[in-house]
Structure 1
């Protein structure tokens, strides 16, 4: 058993009905992990001093990689030698986080022998996060992981580990093969993941449908969201069954006797009011539909996505670090997403080139688009402006055009205006 430190303040976190990380770390410390015992001691000191006791001791990593390891050192190593070095390794998760038990045991065995034994399942980007390794153990841990087929994820100003929802493996709504896309991007952009060279981090996340189970629209610099181009499929007999209460709403989520009011619950709550119901049949003006899936979620046995599927590409989401949180904005309304995804990758390369050339230090691509303007971004990625890219009407009515952007009927007026003012 490791030497335990008195932790009266941390002990308070074990009280109450909820599970406590303190209890978990104590369990490892009692099993003989010095790093865990000293981690608790240092955390207690941080609570007492009201300041963190970690310092950045320079770049640390494994040979050939610039990312995947986050360096951390204690600034009181004489008091807590078990956490003098406390580096974190990010291990690239499989698509959709599907693990075989024996594969997890491989990682756990390596980590029990060479690290602190603590880990997070998972980080916000998805990596398996191994917490607490000494510098001299990094290369042996990396060698053993790669020998078993594992790899490190992204960290620093690099491409972070792509992540996706369960996709077609478990979900009937998936419009794209999220797992194949996630794996393909991970393999294609290895250099961008392991060798940080950008202004700041960049994240791909793949949602199989507009329900957005990995919240790509809020959590990724480039959101890939499965969608469809044709009409929503309607089973009018099932619509009638919902209206009659023969099929309960929301798949029975609110009880077996939940009767659906199609006019109030479906049509009136449609964000574009593109649906109507005459008491017998449901009608959808599909050209006005924004694919929000509200109606499909309410009546899954009556409505299904169309069959001409692909993805919408959005760019620019981030958390509130420098300029505040923002959601990603629609850039490509519809793109086919079938292997080898060349059209999408061509867009990505153009986007990265522009960001790499124009981005400031620690500036995410969404912030750069805000600073330089959507027009500059669209020129760089060679896309035409589309009304669907507009988040909201501009507040400033003084809109100025370049002469070559004005329709022919106005060119004469502009020339006359310039002549008058030139005098």
Structure 2
């Protein structure tokens, strides 16, 4: 039997290997277009992020190794362009030469190709699809070689979000754009996707939905993209919009296709005899609905290929259908998983879906590293059969997905899990498995014991007429009435039994306990908010004259929202401007935000942030969301590195260094890079382009000043009666001594204005550098910083010193003291020696617990 396999990677190589194991006499030949026949396509994002170190680690098998292991013949560089079912031949190009091969059985495993819209700029350097190892290698190399700091990823599916996480881990600013109105479209319901989106934004990823990419900008290389919403600047662009079946060469063969996929039956047979298909190019079926479903997953490719090989070698093996099962890592502590139907899909398929969103421990709560699962179950209301699951968590979401997938294949009801003996030990799970807990909650909801609003209903405003009851252990929802669950032994004082009450706690459990108790005491109209404040953004309008609790004021201050104490509930919100620099579009966004959400007024702070004035409490979240859509962030308070201040630098006539370039690096590395690092107090950085000190670097915790150190050649000095160098020096540090122009080093501030002024070339040579001051501050207790004795001659030296100073302050500073206090307590000489000559164990310092003492 002569079997041809068109395509390698997952399905092709799996089918060929299994065929040879089952029938050693079979002649199996793999025809592969590329040179890599078997690689880890799902591992590409992790190569970009550096978790996978080399290209070789992505290659599962080389053609030579694979042929030796399996006995299948492998031909690379072979593009099949035509299939003739009647003649049972395939033809195409082998390294540019025509060829024809005959077959007894044919397997089509050509997979899928990345979809790249036909748009201007798509071929520019710096634009990368993400499908093959060379794409990942090219992207990582390009980011490194070009010092990329901003990335745009088009596509918010699993691959796009995994690429985003790995670019973020490399220190890039990442913007994700998708035409759909949510991330992970068709995989997650909107409320689950919105929760994941909020977490991505909290981590610094800018997420824009409902925007189609129109073009890539740039001439010699990519400089950004243009979307329906306007331009977005970027140094590198990744196109992860999706894939399309690689089946164009089958158009005139008579093989049945549906939207480019090869239609197959449960034995992976096409409509033509002796022709089969598997992998991303094939249309399989849903295990739940029985309808055709495209499952472009490596797992589906391997499973269908193995089943196909069994069938061809005499053991017919039907493929049981797919569930759309998938998991992904979106952030270091944010994993997502799903299987089965979403609520929307279930309704579209004619089911009557009932759902629940619940929050449960992912392992014993007392075990180190314990976190939570946020789980959405979808079931059919009438049959109680499980239809789908979506889960988000910091830990092993795959275990939740796999438990659900087994139930879906078996057609189990949610009740079938009630007493199922699943694994338990504190490091791994809870005594009642978290999936079973979710089933129990949904059973209570089906029975009417638990009456709820889902997160989707709450977001849609269905609870707007309900009074919010805070059921948490301590009051935590501003404007809500707090009820101490432990003391509810009768009707609630001042609340009618027919009042509409929304019971809100951290997760939903205490809300259920309170509802159960209130029902006993005659309350008839209570609802529990599923997922509580862990999942939902709960806002309660403040009653007239009410003030916010101190805890909420403190929380908002940490976000850069400072309470205007003349009012009960208005805030001035600080917008970070990257050293005072904004684009015109960003300026327009700030102005629009001030008009829409605040008083219409914008002020500047001494840290060159813009402060939107008079924002009512209920508008704060909407304002922050609006600014994030424009690529802007709020912040700049707390015991941490503060926004960086910079002068104009080389755009000023006296500028000696590019202060914008340096301060932007400081912004990325330390304001953003150390954003979650607590320090003993605030730590302010400033960069001045010359000794004029316009932004007062020496009054900051660490100040950097551009220098141009003269290196005179006094052999060329003629001792002129009117010395042009003496005349040019603005601080009179130059004088004639013994017929030579001499610089007093105690007076010279290295401004460089003397250079090029001598007609005989005595003052032409110099060294550009940086003077660094430490321990300055202004405010209640002004202190001038003192310069380190070294003039730094490279930008990298300065960046390294800044990081060492921050780590030193975190390690040896005391809560509540500024860096100047630390220096005074330890002695300048000690600190200077540590910064210039000492070493810092960064990991040890970062592992310390530090309590900040900043009050603003």
What's the TM-score, normalizing by structure 1?
A: 0.58
Which residue number corresponds to residue 58 of structure 1? 551
1:156 aligns with 2:638: yes
Task: Return the offset for 1:381.
Answer: 2.3
Which residue number corresponds to residue 705 of structure 2? 225
Q: Give the SS at the match of 2:788.
A: strand
1:90 aligns with 2:574: yes
Whose helix fraction is larger, Structure 1's or Structure 2's? 1
With over 3 angstroms needed to count, the CA separation of the structure-2 counterparts of 1:266 and 1:104, relative to structure 1, is: closer
Find the aligned partners of 2:779 and 2:562 in 1 and give their Cα distance. Answer: 21
Task: Return the offset for 1:351.
Answer: 2.0
Which residue number corresponds to residue 787 of structure 2? 330
Q: Give the SS at the match of 2:569.
A: coil
Which residue number corresponds to residue 189 of structure 1? 670
1:172 aligns with 2:653: yes
Which residue number corresponds to residue 407 of structure 1? none
Which residue number corresponds to residue 601 of structure 2? 118
Find the aligned partners of 1:186 and 1:226 in 2 and give their Cα distance. Answer: 18
Which residue number corresponds to residue 736 of structure 2? 276
Contact 2:548 2:568 in 1 (8 A): no
Contact 1:111 1:117 in 2 (8 A): yes
Task: Return the offset for 1:307.
Answer: 4.2
- More RCO (CA 8 Å, sep 6+): 1
Which residue number corresponds to residue 372 of structure 1? 826
Structure 2 residue runs of 5 or longer lacking an equivalent are: 1-546, 839-856
Structure 1 residue runs of 5 or longer lacking an equivalent are: 1-53, 75-82, 244-259, 385-423
Which residue number corresponds to residue 44 of structure 1? none
Find the aligned partners of 2:654 and 2:809 in 1 and give their Cα distance. Answer: 34
Task: Return the offset for 1:316.
Answer: 0.6
CA RMSD of aligned residues (A): 3.8
1:306-317 pair list within 5 angstroms: 307-317=766-776
Task: Return the offset for 1:301.
Answer: 8.2
Q: Give the SS at the match of 1:308.
A: strand
Which residue number corresponds to residue 45 of structure 1? none
Contact 1:211 1:292 in 2 (8 A): no
Find the aligned partners of 2:722 and 2:741 in 1 and give their Cα distance. Answer: 16
1:302 aligns with 2:757: yes
Contact 2:755 2:764 in 1 (8 A): no
Which residue number corresponds to residue 35 of structure 1? none
Which residue number corresponds to residue 316 of structure 2? none
With over 3 angstroms needed to count, the CA separation of the structure-2 counterparts of 1:114 and 1:288, relative to structure 1, is: closer
With over 3 angstroms needed to count, the CA separation of the structure-2 counterparts of 1:105 and 1:213, relative to structure 1, is: same
Contact 2:575 2:611 in 1 (8 A): yes
Q: What are the Cα deviations for residues 63-95 of structure 1, in whole angstroms up to 9, with x where unaligned?
A: 9x9442223455xxxxxxxx3212121111244
Which residue number corresponds to residue 252 of structure 1? none
The structure that has the greater radius of gyration is 2
Find the aligned partners of 1:233 and 1:209 in 2 and give their Cα distance. Answer: 23
Find the aligned partners of 1:73 and 1:196 in 2 and give their Cα distance. Answer: 28
Contact 2:756 2:764 in 1 (8 A): no
Find the aligned partners of 1:363 and 1:56 in 2 and give their Cα distance. Answer: 27
Q: What are the Cα deviations for residues 195-250 of structure 1, in whole angstroms up to 9, with x where unaligned?
A: 361111111100011111111112x110100002342699999x99998xxxxxxx
Q: What are the Cα deviations for residues 275-297 of structure 1, in whole angstroms up to 9, with x where unaligned?
A: 2289xx9723376662254x93x
What's the TM-score, normalizing by structure 2?
A: 0.30
Whose strand fraction is larger, Structure 1's or Structure 2's? 2
With over 3 angstroms needed to count, the CA separation of the structure-2 counterparts of 1:114 and 1:194, relative to structure 1, is: farther
